[in-house]
C-alpha cells in the first residue's frame, strides 16, 4: 500500500501546473477544462495498479462496448461489487445468503464464480470459447486469463 501511495505522490508531483490570470480555481488534470473524467481515472489506475496486466484492461476501455459493462468490469477488478458482504461492511443489515441458490453467503466471488447458476454459465462459456484456464477460486484471475 505504501508503494502505491508513493507512486501516486510522484505522479502528482510530475503534473504540469497551468497558470491563468484571475481568481483562483480548483482544477484537475491535463485538459483545458480542468475537470476530472473517466479517461483520466483509467489512466491513473492503470499506472498505479501493477498487479494487473495493463493491456487486458486497456483493451477493455478501448473496446466499443457498453459503458455499463466497462464500469461493471472495473468494479469486479477492484472487488467493489455490492454483494451482501460489501453492503454489510457499510453497516446495512440484511440477508447474507445468495438469493439464487441459498446455499452460501453472498459474496462477489460466489455470485460471479461459484454459485451453481453462474458455475453452469462458466462451464458453457468454457466449452464455447475453448478456454481451459478458468480459475475457479478467483473471478479476477479468470477474467485476466481470458482476455
Residue 59, domain member (yes or no): no
Residue 133, domain member (yes or no): yes
Q: Are residues 34 and 78 in the same domain?
A: no
Residues 70/60, Cβ–Cβ less than 8 Å: yes
Q: What is the pLDDT of residue 91?
A: 86
Q: What is the pLDDT of residue 50?
A: 47
Q: Are residues 33 and 69 in the same domain?
A: no
Query: CA–CA separation, 37 vs 31, rounded Å?
Result: 10
Q: What is the number of domains present in the chain?
A: 2
Buried b (16+ CB within 10 A) or exposed e, 7-25: eeeeeeeeeeeeeeeeeee
Only one residue has cell 488534470, namely 29
Query: CA–CA separation, 86 vs 65, rounded Å?
Result: 27
Q: What is the pLDDT of residue 29?
A: 61
Q: Are residues 44 and 69 in the same domain?
A: no
Query: CA–CA separation, 142 vs 129, rounded Å?
Result: 13
Structural domain of 84: 65-147
* Alpha-helical regions (H) of 14-93: 38-48, 54-62, 67-77, 84-89
Nearest in space to 143 (alpha carbons), one of 110, 113, 104: 113
Q: What is the pLDDT of residue 19?
A: 65
Q: Are residues 136 and 69 in the same domain?
A: yes
Residue 60, domain member (yes or no): no
Mean pLDDT by 10 residues, the chain (147 residues): 76 68 67 70 63 57 74 81 86 85 89 88 84 77 72
Residue 76, domain member (yes or no): yes
Q: Are residues 70 and 14 in the same domain?
A: no
Q: Are residues 85 and 109 in the same domain?
A: yes
Amino acid at each position: 500500500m505504501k508503494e502505491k501511495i508513493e507512486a501516486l505522490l510522484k505522479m502528482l508531483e510530475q503534473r504540469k501546473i497551468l497558470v491563468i490570470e484571475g481568481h483562483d480555481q480548483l482544477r484537475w488534470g491535463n485538459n483545458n477544462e480542468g475537470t476530472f473524467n473517466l479517461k483520466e481515472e483509467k489512466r491513473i489506475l492503470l499506472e498505479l495498479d501493477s498487479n494487473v496486466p495493463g493491456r487486458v484492461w486497456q483493451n477493455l476501455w478501448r473496446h466499443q462496448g457498453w459503458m455499463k459493462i466497462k464500469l461493471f468490469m472495473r468494479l469486479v477488478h477492484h472487488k467493489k461489487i455490492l454483494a451482501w458482504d460489501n453492503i454489510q461492511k457499510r453497516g446495512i443489515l440484511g440477508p447474507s445468503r445468495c438469493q439464487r441458490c441459498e446455499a452460501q453467503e453472498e459474496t462477489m466471488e460466489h455470485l460471479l464464480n461459484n454459485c451453481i447458476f453462474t458455475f453452469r454459465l462458466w462451464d458453457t462459456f468454457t466449452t464455447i470459447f475453448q478456454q481451459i484456464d478458468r480459475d475457479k477460486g478467483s473471478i479476477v484471475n479468470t477474467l485476466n486469463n481470458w482476455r
